[in-house]
Amino acid sequence: MVTLAERFPRPSVMGVVNVTPDSFSDGGVNFRPEDAVVSARKMLEEGAAIVDVGGESTRPGSEAVSLDEELRRVVPVLEALQGEVPVSIDTAKAEVAQRAIELGAELVNDVTALRGDPELAGMVASSDAYLCLMHMQGEPRTMQLDPQYDDVAGEVAAFLEERLGFAVDAGIPEERICLDPGFGFGKTVLQNFELLGRLGVIVQLGRPVLVGLSRKRSLGRILGDPEATTGPLSASLAAAIEAYERGAAIFRVHDVREHVEALTVAKAVG
């Protein structure tokens, strides 16, 4: 078995391809399958280790999409990329994950950490797929209304440790799993920055850590716009490097070339 750490050596870049009309970060640019496929190929050329294909937006306030709609969005993209571009599937639905794995997806990126669909754990266990478990407080529709923590890093770490145990008990080998603190998922600006500063607490759990900081609204807000819904590339790069310095391994980003270049420099220094 190739472990996740071997397959995605630190730092590895995961390109984001949202096959959605309403993602916060790339507002429908890849909603047409043809466009999503072109973007994914370009990300591979620019140095992405894998491309994360998703058919459901999880931005703050978003509504869930049906199984049929999610399949309709992602399947043509997965079919076109099969055997050419390494793919991760961003879904909480076992049937979407199953179809994606049949079409060659290597990793299941579940923002609910196996709490959304009771069938997903068994489905992943019966496959060879890697798995990302992400922390979220609440659910996308309401998660930004009033997130509360006594100790954000400690609570996120405890949650991820519990979900890792759940996944392993369900038969998914630990060596195939990475953990993600879930920046922006039920966290205020200050909570996100505290969590980034204390990312070492998550890294200490012993699994590779994936971070999704790219274009997140906290980056726009720390720059002074209290209404920002996205953050700029410059701030995304700074956040990625701060995460790398604290041990993050995989970087889920929209601007692949720039992150590959910045992380190559950070690695050379480190």
Contact window for ligand HH2 (CB under 6 A) among 37-45, 144-152, 175-183, 219-227: 175-183
* Token reading at 177: 């799993």
Measured CA distances, 180 to 40, 230, 248, 265 (Å): 22, 20, 9, 23
Active-site pick, 7, 59, 198, 216:
216
Closest-approach residue to ligand HH2 (CB): 212
Residue 216: active-site member: yes
Q: Does 212 bind ligand HH2 (CB under 6 A)?
A: yes
Per CB under 6 A, contacts with ligand HH2 among 20-59 are 20, 23-25, 54, 57-59
Q: Does 180 bind ligand HH2 (CB under 6 A)?
A: yes
Residue 93: active-site member: no
Q: Does 87 bind ligand HH2 (CB under 6 A)?
A: no
Q: Does 207 bind ligand HH2 (CB under 6 A)?
A: no
Contact window for ligand HH2 (CB under 6 A) among 2-10, 39-47, 177-185, 201-209: 177-185
Of 18, 91, 98, 230, the one binding ligand HH2 by CB under 6 A:
18
Contact window for ligand HH2 (CB under 6 A) among 32-40, 112-120, 165-173, 178-186: 178-186
Q: Does 199 bind ligand HH2 (CB under 6 A)?
A: no
Q: Does 135 bind ligand HH2 (CB under 6 A)?
A: no
Residues tagged active-site: 216, 252
> Which chain residues interact with ligand HH2 by CB under 6 A?
16, 18, 20, 23-25, 54, 57-59, 90, 109, 111, 132, 134, 180, 182-183, 210, 212, 252
